[in-house]
Amino acid sequence: MNDIDVFVIDDDFDPLADLELVEDGEGQETDYLPPIPDADKSVVPEAVELPAGERIERLLAGIPGQQFRILSAVELCSEPKTITETAEAMDAAYPNCTSVYSSQQIIMLLERAGALERVAAEADEASENAAASADVSPEEDFITVVPAAPVRVVATRAGLDAVETRVGERVVRAMLEEEPLYLPLYQTILEQCAAEGGCATKDLDALIDVDPLCVEPRRFCGYFRGRLEGVGALVWRDAWNVTDLGAKVLASDIFNH
C-alpha cells in the first residue's frame, strides 16, 4: 500500500454504522408520554376517613409551632360561638402571631379534623334558608344572594380530649417530674421569664449553661427552654415570657420539695 492509497476517501464509510441507530420516523417513540397510561380509565379508590382523634393528632403534628394557638380555638368553643367571635378571641390571645394560617383558617382546619362541629340545629336552618332563597318561583326573574346566618361552632369530645391531653397544669407537672434533678433549673428559668418584659435568650443562657447540674451530662439552656415551651409554660413575645399556665405551675408546690 502506497501513501496515496492511505489518503483515498472512502465514500461508503459511515462512522455511525456500528451504533445501529434507528431511522427517524420508525421504531422507538421519543415523544412525551403520560406517566400513567389510560389514566382516564383508572378508578380512584374511596378515601378512608380517619377517626377524629387521629386527624387532630396529624393536624397538630403538621403545625407544631402553633399547637397551643390551635388548641386555644377548641378551648374557646367549649360553649357554642360564631366563627367570627372565635377568630377575634384567638387574635386577641395571640396578637403577634407569625403563622401563615389566619384564625379563620385554623377554625376551618379544626372543623375538618373533627375537633369542632357546627351547631346542628342552626346549620340545618341556615341551609334551609339558603335553599329557600335559591328556590324561587317561576314568576320571579331574578334571585339574589341572601347571606347565611352566622353559624356557630362548638368543640367536639375528640377536640376536648386533645386539649386535655396536651394543655394544662397536669401536663407541665408530668414533664417536670420526669427529670426531678433539674427542677431548680426549671424554676430559675420560669422565675426569670416571669419578670416584667420577660427574659432575653442570652441572659437565660448565661444563667443556666454554667450551672453545675448542666455539666454531666452536658446540657444547655435551650434543652430546658424547649421543653417548657413544648408544654405551653413559656412563650416567645420578643423575649421569653412565662404564660398563665407557667405562672400557675411556678406558684404551685412542685418546686418546694
Partner 1 sequence: MSYEQEIDFATVLRGRMATYQFLSRLFGVEVDQKLYDTLLEMRFPTNTGNSLVDEGYRLMCSYLSKADGPVLTELAVDYVRAFIGSGNDGFSAAYPYESVYTSPKRLMMQDARDEVLVLYHAADLDKKDSWKDGEDHIALELEFCQILTERALEAVEAADEERAAKYLLQQRNFLEDHLLAWYPMMAADLEKFPRTDFYRGLGKLTSGFLQNDLDFLNEVLTDTEKAADIEEATDTEEATEIEVA
CA distance linking residue 83 with residue 248, whole number of Å: 30
Minimal distance, residue 66 CB to partner 1, in Å? 17
Residue 218: how many CA atoms within 13 Å on its side-chain side? 0
Taken as a whole, the chain contains a residue count of 257
Residue 152: all three cell numbers together: 356557630
Q: Binding of partner 1 at residue 105 (CB under 8 A)?
A: yes
- With the C-alpha atoms ordered 80, 81, 83, 89, is the resulting torsion angle positive or negative? negative
Minimal distance, residue 104 CB to partner 1, in Å? 4
* Cβ neighbours for 193, distance < 8 A, ≥ 6 positions apart: 199, 204, 234, 240, 241, 242, 246
Q: Binding of partner 1 at residue 144 (CB under 8 A)?
A: yes
Choose between 110 and 176: whose C-beta lies nearer to partner 1: 110
Q: Which of residues 44-103 bind partner 1 (CB under 8 A)?
A: 83, 102
The correct pick among 1, 142, 202, 212 for binding partner 1 (CB under 8 A) is: 142
Choose between 97 and 194: whose C-beta lies nearer to partner 1: 97
Q: Which of residues 7-36 bind partner 1 (CB under 8 A)?
A: 31-36
Q: Binding of partner 1 at residue 171 (CB under 8 A)?
A: no
Burial of 77 (0-12, 13-18, 19+ CB in 10 A): buried
Q: Binding of partner 1 at residue 112 (CB under 8 A)?
A: no
Binding site for partner 1 (CB under 8 A): 31-36, 39-40, 42, 83, 102, 104-105, 107-108, 126-127, 129-131, 133-134, 136, 138, 140-148, 150-151
